[in-house]
């Protein structure tokens, strides 16, 4: 293997709000803040450089006007897809339509700022 993903950067109008949302979704904690307002979140016991990438919520005033070219796929680790969907909706996710037919085995959702992500059907083992 030559490389692996260590961080994902998400531009955010409100980095605090997205850091709170994604921390609850992924079980992450705040790892640090930069002077520009960026917030890094990641696994509580590992942080940067562990088996899971950290997320950096970077402040931006640019409004998104098109579908994202990259999105995050999630899999539940400790419950079935329906229960995880309920949890994500309670945290502030909302259903999103990106042209799906309704017959997919996954759910397309959006975070509080409208960034699409998918909840896949398969359950994965926790790390």
CATH value at residue 88: 3.10.180.10
Q: Are residues 36 and 85 in the same domain?
A: no
Q: Is the pTM of this model over 0.75?
A: yes
Whether 37 and 53 share a structural domain:
yes
What range does the domain containing 38 cover?
1-61
DSSP letter for each residue of 72-102: EEE--SSS-HHHHHHHHHHHT-EE--SS--S
| pLDDT digits (tens), the chain, 127 positions | 588 889 999 999 999 999 999 999 999 999 999 999 999 999 998 888 888 999 999 999 887 777 777 889 999 999 999 999 999 999 999 999 988 898 999 999 999 999 999 999 998 988 7
């Amino acid at each position: 293997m030559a490389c692996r993903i260590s961080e994902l950067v998400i531009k955010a109008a409100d980095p605090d709000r997205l850091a709170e949302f994604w921390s609850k979704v992924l079980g992450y904690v705040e790892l640090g803040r930069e002077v520009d307002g960026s917030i890094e979140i990641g696994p509580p016991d590992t942080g940067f450089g562990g088996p899971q990438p950290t997320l950096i919520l970077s402040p931006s005033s640019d409004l998104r006007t098109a579908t994202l070219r990259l999105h995050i796929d999630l899999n539940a680790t400790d419950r079935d897809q329906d229960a995880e969907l309920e949890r994500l909706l309670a945290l502030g996710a909302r259903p999103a339509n990106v042209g799906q037919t309704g017959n997919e085995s996954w759910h397309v959702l959006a975070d509080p700022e409208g960034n699409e992500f998918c909840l896949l059907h398969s359950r994965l083992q926790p790390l």
